A and B are shown apart, each in its own frame.
Chain A
Amino acid sequence: MEILVASAVGVLTAGGVYLILRLRTFPVILGLALLSYAVNVFLFSTGRLAVNAPPVLQRYAENVPYTDPLPQALVLTAIVISFGMTAVLVMFAVGAYLEADHDRIDMTEAGESRSAKGDAGT
């Protein structure tokens, strides 16, 4: 169980890091998605791994195994936020692609190509 979770986090993170170092937006977005999956799984494991145990405290019974509920709440928040952020990122990427006619993420001649009239006078 521990090996499985740990290697899942590791593989997802490695794949995510590889992908966000690409120069095109689509792999970068996929990479960030993989990284957010990795961190979600990682957050689950921070409350210790317990199988088949409810995430609630049982005050009427002694020595009943339970899962720490807090990481589950944290994961829920993290999922919502990363989902929203990914949606925003996709909108940005589509906008940048439509404006620039290519989806390269690096800005080779950053700023220098801004023409005299440019975008300040819109």
Chain B
Amino acid sequence: MNHWIIAPVVLPALLAPIIAFVMRHDITLARAASFAGTLALAAIAVGLTVLAAAGETHVYVLGNWEAPFGIVLVLDRLSALMVLLTSILALIVLLHAVATGWDARGRHFHALFQFQLMGICGAFLTGDAFNLFVFFEVLLIASYGLMIHSGGRERVRAGLQYVVMNLAGSTLFLFALGTIYATTGTLNMADLAVKVREIPVEDAALIRVAGMLLVIVFAIKAALFPVQFWLPGTYANAPAPVAALFAIMTKVGAYAILRMYSTVFGPDVAATGGLFTTWLVPAAIVTLAVGAFGVLGARRLVPLIAFSVVGSMGTLMLAVAVFTPYAAMAALYYLVHSTFAAAALFLLADLVVARRNGDDALAARPATVQNGLFAALFFAAAIGMAGMPPLSGFLGKLLVLDALNPGPMVTLTWGAILLGSLLTIVGFARAGSILFWKSTALPADPEAQPTPPARALELAPGIAALAMLALLAAAAHPVSGYLEATAAQLFDHDGYARAVLGTLYAPEPAMEVEG
């Protein structure tokens, strides 16, 4: 049993209270501790990824209570990848928050940030459905605090909506888990994978209800139609670094769907079959449309980016909803890409909006300092988000398109992705030309207070996120190779159950003799 597996949960969990109680009055100390913790988390994540890349499914048995009786953490390629993604994003976001001084505008930013990381890493690592609920609550309660960081009327009210939405979602989560437990008598994912496959089709009604309830819960997190409406308001009103960190929060929903509906309720399960594909594909298409029209119709920059996140979740969920290993590989590539693309856009938009004295309306204002530099960076980030070459969004969308053909409603899904991309490009082109191009024609406002140019340290996080996109595109071959192995492991529910349940897992011997 490798104790490093639990480190991504324990490290932030120990660090956060220390920051909250010991360093609450010393922002420099809190920054240093938070940085050190996040760096250590990234190092641990790299180590875990190397460990998982060998292909074995590592199980951490908490309190030495064997699964399915105790809670287990499971480290396979997918969870290692997600923890690594979280830690890299966290480093970028933390650097931005410190460089721009966002973290000093309210209290307990770093403590909440660490609790948020604890919840996210835990959700990625856990192998127990109820434990997933608990980690969801941990990451949510930290996100509530981060969401209203530094206060303000609109922000607190948007935060209230966000909390209410997620509390309703948590209730639904519990109803779903209760139904699953009542039907199968277990909440361990590996045990569920075995038990759900034993349910005869005639008795499938309850487990189908539970599966659908659970899909709705994860869809709330993944901002999938018809429960996507919380996202634009939340992301547009959250502090910019928090919005960038929330780029991983929607991916938690996508991850949960990918995990639960390929390992537990896989397409090979008799009781549920293709039920989830049937519902997820149309929902993803509408989500994509909502995102694309939102980008086109937005009148402010930050909501525009928020809608582009909705659109990218639609594309991602289209690939997830197919539930084949190849499509899962495409989905994972696009997931990594869209996380960094969204983060880059939010971070750059924060710098632009700060130069415009907090005004993010899409209207021409006199050109600010470094207009050309910001125009170039925004252009690059928009290319990434819209899915144009040469950045990784293009490759991601190509993979997704390839995975969808042949598939359910291929004309509709291809049409949605291609038209959605076109609308997104038009929306971003419109926003960019108004913000950066038209402004050069206006005379400078003599009464305006000059804003200081962005320092290199402030620019670095946004550029780092863009560099991740370039890196992802340049290293597409090794990355997709790793992701292919990840997807293959994800759909190997037999191997997962064998690794987690150990001696308790007994496949039918009759099958082996015949095979």
Contacts and interface: CB of A to CB of B under 8 A. Distances in A.
Given A46-B182, A92-B144, A92-B156, A36 B171 contact: yes
Contacts, number: 129
A110 B171 contact: no
Contacts of B181: 46-47, 70-71, 74
A107 B144 CA distance: 18
Contacts of A54: none
B163 A92 contact: yes
Contact of A46 (B163, B178, B359): B178
B19 to A, nearest CB: 19
A82 to B, nearest CB: 8
Interface string B135-161: 001000100100010111111111111
A89 B358 contact: no
Given A74-B130, A92-B148, A110-B158, A20 B164 contact: yes
B154 A35 contact: no
Interface string A91-122: 01101100110000101001111101111111
Nearest to B358: A120
Contacts of A5: none
Nearest to B106: A122
A42 interface: yes
A70 B134 CA distance: 15
Contacts of B358: 116-121
Given A43-B178, A96-B157, A35 B152 contact: no
A118 B148 CA distance: 14
A84 B155 CA distance: 21
B105 interface: yes
B286 interface: no
Given A89-B164, A100-B157, A105-B161, A43 B105 contact: no
Main secondary structure of the interface of A (DSSP, over half): helix
Given A96-B156, A120-B354, A121-B357, A88 B174 contact: no
B171 A35 contact: yes
Contacts of B179: 46
A96 B160 contact: yes
Interface in A51-73: 70-71
B154 A114 contact: yes
B303 A111 contact: yes
B325 interface: no
A122 B150 contact: yes
B141 A85 contact: yes
A30 B130 CA distance: 25
A32 B105 CA distance: 31
Contacts of B153: 96, 99-100, 119
Interface string B239-255: 00000000000000000
Nearest to B356: A116
A37 to B, nearest CB: 10
A81 B130 CA distance: 12
Contact of B141 (A70, A88, A116): A88
A8 to B, nearest CB: 14
Interface in B156-196: 156-161, 163-164, 167-168, 170-171, 174-175, 177-179, 181-182
Main secondary structure of the interface of B (DSSP, over half): helix
Nearest to A38: B171
B353 interface: yes
A43 B130 CA distance: 12
Contact of A122 (B105, B160, B161, B175): B105
Contacts of A112: 299
A118 B420 CA distance: 32
A77 interface: yes
A85 to B, nearest CB: 6
A32 to B, nearest CB: 5
B79 interface: no
Contact of A77 (B130, B150, B154, B168): B130
A39 B154 contact: no
Given A46-B178, A89-B167, A107 B141 contact: no
B178 A39 contact: yes
Contacts of A99: 151-153, 156-157
A41 to B, nearest CB: 10
B500 interface: no
B171 A81 contact: no
Contacts of B151: 95, 99, 119, 122
A48 B164 CA distance: 31
A29 to B, nearest CB: 8
Contacts of A120: 353-354, 358
A5 B261 CA distance: 31
B236 interface: yes
A48 to B, nearest CB: 8
Contacts of A81: 134, 137, 170
A39 B471 CA distance: 46
Contacts of B357: 116-117, 121
A92 B152 contact: no
A93 B156 CA distance: 8
Identify the 4 closest CB pairs spanning chains A and B, nearest first. Answer: A119-B152, A120-B358, A46-B182, A99-B153
Given A43-B178, A122-B105, 19 more contacts: A35-B171, A36-B171, A39-B174, A39-B175, A42-B174, A45-B182, A78-B174, A81-B137, A85-B137, A85-B167, A88-B141, A96-B160, A105-B164, A107-B157, A107-B161, A116-B359, A119-B150, A119-B358, A121-B358
11 contacts: A43-B178, A46-B179, A77-B130, A78-B174, A92-B156, A95-B151, A99-B153, A99-B156, A114-B154, A119-B151, A122-B105
Interface of A: 16, 20, 25, 28, 32, 35-36, 38-39, 42-43, 45-47, 70-71, 74, 77-78, 81-82, 84-85, 88-89, 92-93, 95-96, 99-100, 105, 107, 110-114, 116-122
